[in-house]
Structure 1
């Protein structure tokens, strides 16, 4: 059941995140997604022994991923002329999936080396980089 809820978190609300990205802006929706990812990491890091907490963490992970990917994809697509969008989106998707495969392959050895809390710290650091970069872009009014 946990896996189904995680997958639902990834895809069920994608249209809502798309609508929200159109209404509130791409960068705020990316920040929302990153906040959900941080929430997932905090819950997983503090209550990993609880099935309910792990389930909630995985649902938040799916929602955070969905929010960030939907808004990020829109941001990428609108950054180039229409005729260049398919190639750019394909390259973006390839890069994202390659990074996911690499992350999945590295998670086991990292977990074995630094433990669950170390893996969480590394993941939190990666999310923090996105949050800081995005917040700076919003604060400076940089064009997405």
Structure 2
């Protein structure tokens, strides 16, 4: 089949490593499913697995949970957190949800109009400070 001829273009060692990385992010069973057939969260995890193939010291995650439902958002953040804690990969993540940042971050930097308005520990920024930075329209979204 065309799929197998494409897959066999990659060295066996790379294919094995790719399967290990998919296992690492919990979607090994989706290895032979087309990307457009995966859910948004599964696609995000494929992206994380692809990045892991490079054996990074730093992973940049630009709004990794944008347009994902709360449970899937939590799952993606959990995998990024595990990569940090278990693999020692520094994860720099832009988020719009303070609740996720508080739950998963070791440090929060809040930017507004390109300027740093806050730099500190998650426990040091509360809803009031968040609204001071981003305005009264900033709303709390709980991810459970």
* Higher Rg: 2
- Structure-2-length-normalised TM-score: 0.30
The structure where strand makes up a greater share of residues is 2
The higher relative CO (CA closer than 8 Å, separation ≥ 6) is in: 1
The structure where helix makes up a greater share of residues is 1
